[in-house]
Amino acid sequence: MHSSFTTPGVIEGSSGGRLAINSFGLRAPLWLGAGPAVLGVLTLLPDLRRRAGGGSGSRPRAARP
């Protein structure tokens, strides 16, 4: 199943890079890759905010007997 998701990503990435280079030059794939990287970091923000919230909500409470 893993390769069935990897192969389309390689195909789409290669095609997108080719189109970007043809349209905008050799630096275009850097910006094309920066977009998904930024989106990936943005998906981490809710978890980072929850962890940084501090207070008693960030630590699990001990079980009472």
**Vertex 55 angle, CA 50 and 57, to 5°:** 55
Q: What is the pTM of this model?
A: 0.53
What local confidence, expressed as pLDDT, does residue 2 receive?
Answer: 75
Tokens of residue 29, six digits: 């794939």
Burial class (CB in 10 A: 0-12, 13-18, 19+), 55: exposed
Mean pLDDT (10-residue bins), the chain, 65 residues:
82 90 92 90 92 65 65
First to last CA, the chain: 45
Largest distance between two CA atoms of the chain: 68
What local confidence, expressed as pLDDT, does residue 46 receive?
Answer: 92
For tokens 């929850």, name the residue.
50
